[in-house]
A = this chain, B = another copy of it.
Amino acid sequence: MDRQDPKRGRLLPAPENFLGAPGQARRRALGNLIAGGAALLGARALHAAGAPADPAHLPPNVPPWSQVLGQPVGANPYGVPASYEKNIIRRLSPGLTTTKHSSVAFTPLQNLFGIITPNGLHFERNHNGRPDINPYEHRLMLHGLVRQPKIYTMEDLLRFPSVSRIHFVECGANTAMEWGNPAVPTVQYTHGMLSCSEWTGVPLSTLLDDAGFDRAKAKYILAEGADAASLTRTIPIEFALDDVLVAYGQNGEMLRPEQGYPVRLLVPGVQGISNVKWLRRLEVGDMPWNTREESLQYSDLMPDGSSRQYTWIQEAKSVITSPSGGQHLLDKGGYYEITGLAWSGRGRIKRVDVSTDGGRNWRTATLQEPVLSKALTRFRIDWTWNGDPALLQSRCIDETGYVQPKMRQLREVRGTHSIYHNNAIQTWAVDAEGKVHNVQV
């Protein structure tokens, strides 16, 4: 490999189209590297990174950017990513929904590290567009089975005792296309309605106490958004009294507009739609509301024709984000780090196993600390690809002992007409040329 004149073309982003899966340039670049050899580091078959140093190479030669003053400090009072990262963006649904006001923009999981999703890349799912809310005029009403109905301003909410916690949010329809044959090529589209942030807000239990809710009769809460959809969802009171937040902060700053600015519900471990954005009303009641979004939508059509309703919890699930669909491994015999994400709506991830032969043999991956309840957990495991076709899978187990199911197991119970709550094991096939494809086994 000529390092003096690097083959820049190999790293250029793919054309901006759906099958080209732009935004994978960086991670695919990992696979594109043709190694110069193999170095052993302890028991690890490490990629032979780093050519021997040559005096003709940089450094000690001085690159152009070392020879001129850079941009002044504070040139961006609010910073933005490097121009070279311009293809690392949310991408619109490839056709799941019909209008841009009721659509999805997916998080580029294949390009992300760690567990925190930067706010600019948090997935977006709206039902009637994203409202532009004036926080000075916004109000949150709390009424129903309470002693004293309340109307809170944002000032009020910011005055209450607060808590911060790192939690994932996953749309109930994440991985929906995979109920049928694999239809989308990349992890951004198979699993990208998934993000994780440090959320800050007021415990909902604090507000319920403030209004004096009826402890004997209260069984459910209705949450309503201020968007044009006036989206409504029922939340069991047990959740409300446990860890639900009325959240205004996301990764240190105020919520982003598409995440519910200025205030949203955060229902840890529960499907995205229950985390009602642009929250304007909370009603305490004694039975579920059976709203449009929990009857016509967001219910599961079962094999016997019945409808599974109120499926709140996102069960344990994992996915390998690299190598993943659309990437290309060129380094036969080379080291690859297999990495991905695991999460459970019921608590902490206990273990993640990884297979490279379609589930016949499993090895246990390393979990990145801290492993937090109802948060994404990053896993990693070493792999030396021998150049033969491989089937990559991850399988997680949460602290309740629940084991992530195979697609076949899920279909046996749920049939093939579901849209929601597909938490099956994902398979990525590496072909003999190193190209990675979305398959089902």
Contact = CB atoms under 8 A, between A and B. Distances in A.
B120 A78 contact: yes
Contact of A66 (B41, B148, B226, B370): B226
B155 A46 contact: no
A252 B70 contact: no
A132 interface: yes
A406 interface: no
A41 B209 contact: yes
B113 A76 contact: no
Contact of A254 (B82, B126, B153, B210): B82
Kindly name the residue among A27, A51, A92, A101 whose own CB sees the greatest number of chain B CB atoms within 10 A.
Answer: A51
Contacts of A398: none
Interface in A197-214: 198-200, 206-207, 209-211
A159 B33 CA distance: 9
A58 B141 CA distance: 8
B69 A151 contact: no
A78 B51 CA distance: 36
Contacts of A126: 70, 73
A258 to B, nearest CB: 6
Given A50-B210, A368-B163, A69 B101 contact: yes
Contacts of A118: 118-119, 251-253
Given A49-B159, A159-B30, A252 B112 contact: yes
Given A82-B262, A119-B79, A253-B121, A104 B73 contact: yes
B228 A70 contact: yes
Given A39-B210, A57-B139, A252-B118, A131 B70 contact: yes
A159 to B, nearest CB: 4
Contacts of A230: 66
Contacts of A39: 210
Contact of A150 (B47, B51, B130, B226): B51
Given A155-B32, A253-B85, A258-B76, A162 B339 contact: yes
A125 B74 CA distance: 9
Kindly name the residue among A72, A115, A142, A150 whose own CB sees the greatest number of chain B CB atoms within 10 A.
Answer: A72
B90 A50 contact: no
A65 to B, nearest CB: 4
Interface residues of A, number: 148
Interface stretch (A3-11, A215-223, A305-313, A425-433): A3-11
A54 interface: yes
B111 A72 contact: no
A441 B113 CA distance: 45
A58 B80 CA distance: 36
Contacts of A20: none
A190 to B, nearest CB: 18
A170 interface: no
A27 B261 CA distance: 16
Contacts of A51: 150-151
Given A118-B253, A253-B85, A47 B159 contact: yes
A157 interface: yes
Nearest to A36: B156
A155 B59 contact: no
A103 interface: yes
Nearest to A371: B370
Contacts of A179: none
Given A70-B131, A84-B135, A210-B46, A153 B6 contact: yes
Interface of A: 3, 6, 8, 11, 26-27, 29-30, 32-33, 35, 39, 41-42, 44, 46-47, 49-54, 57-60, 63, 65-85, 88-92, 99-105, 111-122, 124-126, 128-139, 141-143, 148-164, 166, 198-200, 206-207, 209-211, 224, 226-228, 230, 248-249, 251-258, 261-262, 278, 280-281, 334-337, 339, 368, 370, 372, 378, 380, 382
16 contacts: A3-B139, A50-B150, A59-B224, A60-B141, A63-B226, A65-B227, A70-B129, A70-B227, A71-B129, A73-B102, A78-B90, A81-B119, A81-B253, A82-B256, A84-B261, A115-B252
The 3 closest A-B pairs by CB, nearest first: A70-B129, A50-B150, A72-B100
